[in-house]
Amino acid sequence: MRDFSDAPMLVIWELTQACDLACRHCRASARPGRDEAELSTQEAYAMLERVVEFGNNPLLVLTGGDPLKRPDLFNIIQRSVALGLRTTVTPSATPLLTHAAVARFQDCGVSRMAVSLDGATKAAHDGFRGVDGSFARTLAALRSAAQVGLETQINTTVTQHNMDSLAEMAAIVGREKARLWSVFFLVITGRASASDDLTAEEYEHVFDFLYRTSLTAPFDIKTTEAPHYRRYHAQQRKRAGAPAAPAVPGVSAIQRHAGINDGKGLVFVSHTGEIFPSGFLELSAGNVRTTNLAAAYRQSESFRVIRDANRLEGKCGACDYRHLCGGSRSRAFALTGRPMAADPRCIYEPPLVLETAC
């Protein structure tokens, strides 16, 4: 297991909350107009320097809202790439995401573009995203990326509305030759509704589908806000008599086995510069306008506590997978108000808890 106390593997930066979509689950409760309190262009450049200070070349994810709503987006990308940062971008599928914009990502040195796919059909996806035409634009952007040689990733948020069409979406991920399928699980924040979430048993069914798909898929699979997929994955490999990690791990395999979690290998910076353990866990460790990003990540009380598996409560604290998994700290906070509580969407009962109960 990697020690993430010094530097994260992922820096996720919400450049803006402005977006022309109206997704029903939106973490950021995004809206069309930009917030006047967003980091300015000069503050954005300073932010990039702070990321470099981690010294380990973390992956920088430029997200939103829709990053294309910022007119200085390409300047920020160019500065980031010039500083040597591996830079990815997650635009929204709106009329701003033209073939020319995708080609410019490639020209500027973007490592990967991620787009969202939340339904296997136009009706399902556009209904979820709240804007007609989003499905077609998503596919067009993926094909533009393939034409210009830009690597792609597809993000899917699993809800009650699409969990029965995951196989059809996996087929699209393969057909469009995405490198990674990043599967998000709901945290009830922003516009997400509790009725959209899966039960703990349904999480397990989805894990089973993802695991079986991962055995033959031509793309990598990773989960977000479901670290217990790592527990499921380890259990299955153990049952199959396979080593816990593949001999030659890909990017998602590295993340899976490194034990990344909220605030542990991951730091999120909001559009106004607030430093959070994740975009779903708004426990601020300062603001990049006044606080050094690396110092906040390494030394702030909130980040130190959240990384400490010995501070986990309930069955997560007693779990034999707590270092590999640790449960979603964002979900624990959203559903219980305690960031170190057990993840309420995990079905696993650790042996120690069972022994204690007997």
Residues forming the site for ligand SF4 (CB under 6 A): 228, 231, 315-316, 319, 321-322, 325-327, 342-343, 346, 348, 350
What's the min distance (Å) between Cβ of 327 and ligand SF4? 3
Nearer to ligand SF4, 35 or 320 (CB): 320
Enclosing H/E stretch for 63:
strand 59-63
What's the min distance (Å) between Cβ of 320 and ligand SF4? 7
User: Contact 70/116 with Cβ under 8 angstroms?
Assistant: no
Cα torsion 251, 256, 261, 265: sign: negative
Nearer to ligand SF4, 119 or 350 (CB): 350
**What number of residues does the chain have?**
358
What's the min distance (Å) between Cβ of 307 and ligand SF4? 14
Nearer to ligand SF4, 265 or 326 (CB): 326
353's CB contacts (< 8 A; 6+ apart) are: 315, 318, 319
CB atoms within 10 A of CB 221: 22
What's the min distance (Å) between Cβ of 316 and ligand SF4? 3
Extract the tokens encoding 255: 């993340």
Question: How distant is the alpha carbon of residue 178 from its chain centre?
Answer: 16
Question: How distant is the alpha carbon of residue 3 from its chain centre?
Answer: 20
What's the min distance (Å) between Cβ of 332 and ligand SF4? 9
Nearer to ligand SF4, 116 or 328 (CB): 328
Nearer to ligand SF4, 135 or 321 (CB): 321
Nearer to ligand SF4, 91 or 350 (CB): 350
The candidate with the shortest Cα–Cα distance to 13, out of 273, 343, 333, is 273
What's the min distance (Å) between Cβ of 312 and ligand SF4? 7
Cα–Cα dist 263/115, whole Å: 24
Question: What are the distances in angstroms from CA 201 to CA 36, 198, 207, 226, 348?
Answer: 43, 8, 10, 13, 10
DSSP for 194-248, please give it. Answer: GGGSPPHHHHHHHHHHHHHHHTT-SSEEEEES-THHHHHHHHHHHHTT--SS-SS
Nearer to ligand SF4, 176 or 343 (CB): 343
What's the min distance (Å) between Cβ of 303 and ligand SF4? 19
